Amino acid sequence: MDEIKRIDRKLRYSGAIVDMYTDYMQMPDGKVAEWDYIAHRMGAAAVVPVLDNGNILMVKQYRNAIGRYTLEIPAGSRDSTDEPTQVCAARELEEETGYKAGSLELLIKVATTVAFCNEQIDVYVARDLKPAKQHLDEDEFVDVCECTIDELTDKILAGEIQDSKTLGALLAYKEKYIHADA
């Protein structure tokens, strides 16, 4: 395949979490194309919180970009570019669900929207959960619910769960831990 290369990048908007750019890309035929690019400054982490009974804790929250509530695994941005994603995952688990993990194991790495954004999310499996205290941000309103992996798979297949990190994480969890044990 012929090479495509970026020849220029212009900042269009700088926000709290992301910067938006126009990239000028040289195509193999010599023409120049303009592509949108969104740079996620911090990266993120997410967690599949597995209770002792095998059920998974999920969070329901409003997502402005799609104008509705979603059912997702707990997740959030790192506090700094050098914060380990495992630390971020543990913090987000407690903040959003009110549980602390006794153990965290890396499950998968997800590139959420490869066509125009560089956001990367490391997803962990949390086990040995212990009740703690929920610490929601001032503008965060989250409901926590407990679901079986089969209920969640049904919601994915019915189109009720569409969030990419949640889809990837739940299906990877089911394949690695549920099917492997069968």
Residues with catalytic function: 138
Task: Report in angstroms the alpha-carbon separations of 20 from 7, 78, 114, 162.
Answer: 17, 19, 15, 24
Phi, psi for residue 172 in degrees, rounded to 5: -65, -45
Task: Determine the 3-state secondary structure of 116 from DSSP.
Answer: coil
Beta strands in 73-149 (DSSP E): 75-77, 99-100, 103-111, 120-127, 130-131, 143-147
Task: Report in angstroms the alpha-carbon separations of 89 from 66, 109, 115, 145, 181.
Answer: 24, 13, 25, 18, 25
Cβ(26)–Cβ(5) under 8 Å? yes
- What's 117's DSSP letter? B
